[in-house]
Structure 1
Amino acid sequence: MPKTPAPATASADGSVGWSRPLALVVALAFFMENLDATILTTATPSIATAFDVVPADLGLAVTAYLVAVAAFIPLGSWAADRLGARPVFLVSIVVFTLASVLCAASDSVATLTTARVLQGIAGSMLVPIGRLVVLSGTAKSDLVRAIAYLTWPALVAPVIAPLLGGILTEYAGWPWIFWVNVPVGIVLVLAAWRIVPQVPRRRRPLDGVGLVLLVVAVSALVLGMEFVADASTTVAGAGLLVGSVLVGTLAVFWFRRAAHPVLDLRPLRIATFRASNSAGSVYRGVVSAAPFLLPLLLQEGFGWSPVRAGAMVMAVFAGNLGIKPATTPLMHRFRLVPLIVVATSVLAASFVAAALLRPDTPEIVVALVFLVSGAARSVGFTAYNTLQFADVPGAQMNPANTVASISMQLATGVGIAVAALLVRAAAGLAPAGDAAFAYRAALVGMAVLGLLSIVESASLPRGAGDAVRAGRR
């Protein structure tokens, strides 16, 4: 009987070489996690009916997942160092899958929220550890290829989630938005068992104080952004945001002085990494607003049906997919910073173009605007994700990966919250009978934020990130 091949083992420096199968396994895990972060919103009315509550009561279930993912990422990083990245990655897939079963079987808001928290904690370990096992064995010359594989789930999942969630909810029932994770989880466990390598452990004590401070700061930030967008909880939301700033400042003070901080901030001294997690976070926030604003523009502003709007937003996905074969050659052919500037400018222009659309605009024109927007977001997103690790030495890859994972999760949540705030603010200024005005104003506002993010990136020295272009053909 043939023996099952043992998983690859990293060398002393953590290098196992570039592996396309490994990148695909991790990308599929990312897709599952990213999809679950957004798909619940589509099914909220159906779940509310099943639980005999109003849809607003389910907001906590959505927010609880985002809080858990962002807040517990450092715990996953520590567990990977302490127990090994491979076993923690496998366990996180199993727990995520089981939590999905609990979500599907939920019969109340409380049980669903509890299951979503468990799912979020598993997701918080799934994402950074998966990226770590790929990046730890990838040479700088192969980094562009690796990042290209790891980027597409974050771009594709939020775009197809509304349509997929609507189809599953309408034709199979809302529990199936969670049941679909079961076969995916089983396939992932089997594939990861064979492919994911052993990565050397680095034992370090758990920084309990730092973890508590970080969890409180992140939770207050995410909940504050959620509450401040609702008129009935604006004051509470503002208080949470102030508390987040205060606790976050205390956490930074602690991390800089702790012997073994749960969040090592030293990678932020690297200019390209710092810019990718400040200006890059603004860009990611703008990108995350598109799947939120565009369906609302079409449904609330133009009166389209959810299915018609969801199908049209798939043009963004087509742009992502269509440009993907050219993304890696572009990264090798052109410097990263000019690519980021061009991609961000085109993305901002596509937002303004979307704001100029009218209900009688030909659908081919609408699709073309969304297609260009999808292509621009794909190039810029991949360029930022590549730039942030371009100059990070191998010894700092794990802490850099942790910081990057937290900033990415927060950027997504905050970007949607800022877009919601802009919609709410513009709604009070909308002319009578213009249902689309608030969404048009929000799109223009997000375009301005995108252009502002260029300033820091453009100030990087010429040739920033060229280390990843060493292997260009």
Structure 2
Amino acid sequence: MSAPADTRRAPEAPSRDAPHADPRAAAILVAFVMFLSILEATVIATALPDMARDFGVAASELGIGITAYLMVSTAFLPLSSWVALRLGPRRVLTVSVLGFGVASLLCSQSPTLGFFVAARAFQALCSSLMTPVGNLVLLRITPKHRLVEMLAISTTPALIAPVIGPPLGGFLTEAFGWPSIFLINLPLTLVGALLARRLLPRLAPQRLRFDAVGFVLIASALSLLIYGLDRLGAHPDAPTVPLILMGTGSVLAVMAYRWLRRMRHGLVPLDALRHQTFRAISYGPGMLMRIPHMGLALVLPLYFQLAFGLSPGMAGVLLLANNLGDLAVKPFISRILRRVGFRSGLVVGTAMMMAASASVAAFTVAMPVWLMALAMFLIGMARSVPFTGMVSLAFADVEADELPGANVLNAIGNALSAAAGISLGALFLNLPLGDGLASDPLPYRVALLALSGIGTLSVFLFLRLPADAGAKVTGTAPDVTEPPVRA
């Protein structure tokens, strides 16, 4: 992808308190809202049968609630930076967190499936503003040499929430009924809104024109791509309609890119794409590396429960061990990356991560659970350096006035890789392999090996990064006394 012409906006004038803002406080706030958003996306899975019974529909029809959440939250991502700059990030984050709580209340009181889907879509809209807006502020106030440290804090919930979501949803549904999985958000959103008012600096709003054409093109492209990927994974034996949807979405994506390149004040500025490190992490090898990670999030719980006959609780323990391994390495990541550099860290770390992920295919029914847990812990350790390093490197060379567009572009890349990973995981599991029984381990092993193979391709692409990539972040650049990044 060629870099677009430099059409950067005039930088926003910071308020007096922005330069003195504590990036650690902002990182904690981003971690909180990210945890809230990801938890809500995963906690619903174990409640679907009870919800379907109350709505009087088949459990499979509840999938539209999950698909609607993913589509809406992704389609409205391009609005996040524009709304934050236009109205002020602290105000937007506070209102979106409170709106998330209102939407949760509506979901809990849904009398019909149609009402639930509408409430779920409203919830997704609020979610699309929460984490990106928080990240925008965090990136603006954090000095480059502290970026790894702050992002290690802010991204931790992405590891924890998917693990505790399903078992928490099961417990709440069984003990208090399915509305409780939404009602639990009410006190959390009040805490989040108070934290946003207290911890985020006050940044002055800007007067910006709204690019309606750009929004329609981007939102339509993302919706078609994600829905097409979802349908392809669910029905690999009927690929015609999904491929048409994805093809149409791809055409609209090209049209959106060309439109944004021509617009001086487009909805999503493309200036950050001129940086090789940003392109590589958001849409290059970084995307290839994220795809198997998201696919495994679907495959592993099914593998442990259906192929090995483990209980949901025991499968959760194995996934918890995996994430604990990741967390165990996080305090040392800054030191590791300063010592070996980003390129070596990503190349070696990704190779280890994919080899470790593929090794799960060698698990057998006779394998003791403690040995499985130990292996999952080591696998989590293997992914810690490449994942945190990748998140930090994405913004290493991005200038202050490029951050709004970069934040949205990176979020879109993450959403697309998540959709692709889940779709591919489902596709491999739905292929006609083995005896066709859910307990047959062959489809899961094929999925594990195939997803790991896809991720291995990123190793060779990471080798093309400059040897000094991310030097500003690791503190090895000539000037390490850079002031906090702010617009």
TM-score by length of 1: 0.93
Which of 357, 362, 371 aligns to 2:363? It is 357
Which of 243, 252, 274 aligns to 1:247? It is 252
SS of 2:202's partner is coil
Match in the other structure for 1:216: 220
SS of 2:255's partner is helix
Match in the other structure for 2:145: 141
Contact 1:18 1:139 in 2 (8 A): no
Code of the aligned partner of 2:269: D
Match in the other structure for 1:5: none
- Measured after TM superposition, the shift of residue 465 of structure 1 is 0.5
- Measured after TM superposition, the shift of residue 228 of structure 1 is 1.5
Residues 389 and 85 (structure 1), Cα distance of their counterparts in 2 relative to 1, 3 Å cut: same
Of 156-165 and 217-226, more deviation after overlay is shown by 156-165
Match in the other structure for 2:474: 469
Match in the other structure for 2:234: 230
- Measured after TM superposition, the shift of residue 362 of structure 1 is 1.1
Contact 2:76 2:128 in 1 (8 A): yes
Residues 243 and 467 (structure 1), Cα distance of their counterparts in 2 relative to 1, 3 Å cut: same
Which of 26, 47, 55 aligns to 1:43? It is 47
Code of the aligned partner of 2:139: L
CA distance in structure 2 between the aligned counterparts of 1:216 and 1:102, rounded to whole angstroms: 26
> 1:8-47 residue pairs with structure 2 within 5 A?
10-11=14-15, 15-47=19-51
Q: Which runs of 5+ in 1 are unaligned?
A: 1-8
CA distance in structure 1 between the aligned counterparts of 2:71 and 2:238, rounded to whole angstroms: 18
Code of the aligned partner of 1:399: G
Which of 264, 272, 276 aligns to 1:271? It is 276
Which of 456, 464, 468 aligns to 1:459? It is 464
Number of residue pairs matched by the alignment: 463
CA distance in structure 2 between the aligned counterparts of 1:242 and 1:198, rounded to whole angstroms: 43
Match in the other structure for 2:9: none
SS of 1:81's partner is helix
Which of 110, 118, 122 aligns to 2:126? It is 122
Alignment of 1:108 with 2:109, yes or no, is no
Code of the aligned partner of 1:54: A
- Measured after TM superposition, the shift of residue 46 of structure 1 is 2.1
Match in the other structure for 1:336: 342
The C-alpha deviation readout for 1:371-414, integer Å capped at 9, x for no partner, is 12222233221110000001111111111111111111221122
Which of 405, 410, 417 aligns to 2:411? It is 405
Code of the aligned partner of 1:35: L
- Measured after TM superposition, the shift of residue 286 of structure 1 is 1.5
SS of 2:156's partner is helix
CA distance in structure 2 between the aligned counterparts of 1:266 and 1:404, rounded to whole angstroms: 13
- Measured after TM superposition, the shift of residue 108 of structure 1 is 2.0
CA distance in structure 1 between the aligned counterparts of 2:415 and 2:16, rounded to whole angstroms: 31
Among the aligned pairs, what percent are the same residue? Answer: 36
CA distance in structure 1 between the aligned counterparts of 2:172 and 2:383, rounded to whole angstroms: 27
Of 383-392 and 200-209, more deviation after overlay is shown by 200-209
> 1:21-420 residue pairs with structure 2 within 5 A?
21-231=25-235, 234-278=239-283, 279-420=285-426
SS of 2:314's partner is helix
Contact 1:141 1:468 in 2 (8 A): yes
- Measured after TM superposition, the shift of residue 39 of structure 1 is 2.0
Cα RMSD after superposing both structures = 2.0
SS of 1:277's partner is helix
Residues 441 and 453 (structure 1), Cα distance of their counterparts in 2 relative to 1, 3 Å cut: same
Residues 421 and 432 (structure 1), Cα distance of their counterparts in 2 relative to 1, 3 Å cut: closer
Contact 1:313 1:370 in 2 (8 A): yes
SS of 2:440's partner is coil
- Measured after TM superposition, the shift of residue 233 of structure 1 is 5.8
SS of 2:208's partner is coil
TM-score by length of 2: 0.91
Contact 1:128 1:402 in 2 (8 A): yes
- Measured after TM superposition, the shift of residue 70 of structure 1 is 1.0
Q: Which runs of 5+ in 2 are unaligned?
A: 1-12, 481-487
- Measured after TM superposition, the shift of residue 212 of structure 1 is 0.4
The C-alpha deviation readout for 1:241-268, integer Å capped at 9, x for no partner, is 1111111111111111123111222211
Contact 2:272 2:402 in 1 (8 A): yes
Residues 389 and 13 (structure 1), Cα distance of their counterparts in 2 relative to 1, 3 Å cut: farther
